[in-house]
Chains A and B, each alone.
Chain A
């Protein structure tokens, strides 16, 4: 069967907006582990069912470390800068544990009050400037950046540089290694400052872990603070705030529901995470370290397999009426943050920021609407994340 399976070009489509290609649904039903060819790299398997996706993400026979040095299926010619995502336990564990302690639910909850204050300050400025305004520029971009800057101890004033690095690193067209070097130079200077004058922010704590306990290399320190925390910690939420607000304004009854019942906002965030992919296309293939049967095929040792998180999140075996937006969904075990050892390190922080964003926006701007309909929405193009880069709103 394997030999005759059709190889489909992937990503299936690259439409702007918040929907996903209906082909995922058809594959889930008829061909749960299929063959795909990305623009670059070798032919890959693609898993689209929830249970299969979870298996690939937790079973140690599917390795990220084994992907290093392979001609990985990918959307740009240059290899993605992988950092911590290129490792397996226990190497991965050693690094993740260091930053993970600062990002537990309890620690993030302590940051919520500050985040609400910051969010309100940005919206004060937007309100003063007057309707209509671009919600991305005035709120969605700066809000997550300042939160991560305060956590790490990085100057918010340098945010224009972070934009350049973030857009470069998530671009499917630009060369990235020179940008990574620039970013590492910048983080290196901040790290040198910590060595001269220790601080108790997260960057200071990681520098101590490096210098006193020798649990990570200098390169790993630069990678986890620069790429893993600073850039990843802002671009993701900056993309999803306008995605979520756009979705709520396009289906006004959902916006009205959250105004009437703000207690539903945490549920709404989970449901929007389930339905709106940050990146509709799969990346970070796992390589089988031995032959594994999965979804009716055998993934042979040395073969890559990708997983579709958006596909898994619409699996009717798990989610009742999976295509419906339901803020009262009782059971929502979505995998928007991934699953297993690489489950998003900042998931609790992202949840908190998205909840705060929807709380302050719905309570302060009850009449919020798209200012020029879809004409006032400009979508990111050629990036590894999908979302509005401009969202003109009025109130």
Chain B
């Protein structure tokens, strides 16, 4: 616990986002819909399977989750 690996960054590409709400329904604690587009109220969060799922399921690949310490992309996988 409390190592830097435990911090994830979540970024939303609001240009790519088409506001399906799939992400907000999948990871309601990490992502919400604001003015029709996905929004991460906390850009840095603790590890969350739901967040990975949300990024994987976005049809536009508009959500990217990275490891804060290393910048390694955790989702979506390519």
- Cβ of A327 < 8 Å from any Cβ of B? no
Q: What mask results when residues 56 to 86 of chain A are scored 1 for a CB within 8 Å of chain B, else 0?
A: 0110100000000000000000000000000
Q: Are A100 and B24 closer than 8 Å at their CB atoms?
A: no
Closest approach, in angstroms, between the C-beta of B48 and any C-beta of chain A? 11
Q: Cβ of A90: which chain B residues have Cβ within 8 Å of it?
A: 26, 49-50, 53
Closest approach, in angstroms, between the C-beta of A58 and any C-beta of chain B? 5
Q: State A15–B33 Cα separation when bound (angstroms).
A: 35
Instruction: Report the stretch among B3-11, B39-47, B55-63, B66-74 that lies at the interface.
Output: B55-63
Interface residues of B, count at CB 8 A: 19
Known interface pairs A90-B49, A333-B36, A347-B20; A340-B25 also in contact (CB < 8 Å):
yes
Closest approach, in angstroms, between the C-beta of B7 and any C-beta of chain A? 22
Closest approach, in angstroms, between the C-beta of A63 and any C-beta of chain B? 11
- Cβ of A129 < 8 Å from any Cβ of B? no
Q: Cβ of B61: which chain A residues have Cβ within 8 Å of it?
A: 104-106
Q: State A104–B56 Cα separation when bound (angstroms).
A: 10
- Cβ of A103 < 8 Å from any Cβ of B? yes
Q: Cβ of A341: which chain B residues have Cβ within 8 Å of it?
A: 21-22, 25-26
Known interface pairs A54-B33, A343-B20, A347-B20; A89-B25 also in contact (CB < 8 Å):
yes
Q: Are A348 and B25 closer than 8 Å at their CB atoms?
A: no
Could you list some 10 contacts between A and B, CB below 8 A? A54-B21, A58-B33, A89-B50, A90-B26, A93-B26, A100-B59, A333-B19, A342-B25, A343-B25, A348-B59
Task: Give B contacts to A, CB under 8 Å.
Answer: 19-22, 24-26, 28, 33, 36, 49-50, 53, 56-61
Given contacts A60-B25, A341-B22, A343-B21, 6 further A-B contacts (CB under 8 A): A60-B28, A97-B53, A104-B60, A339-B20, A347-B59, A348-B59
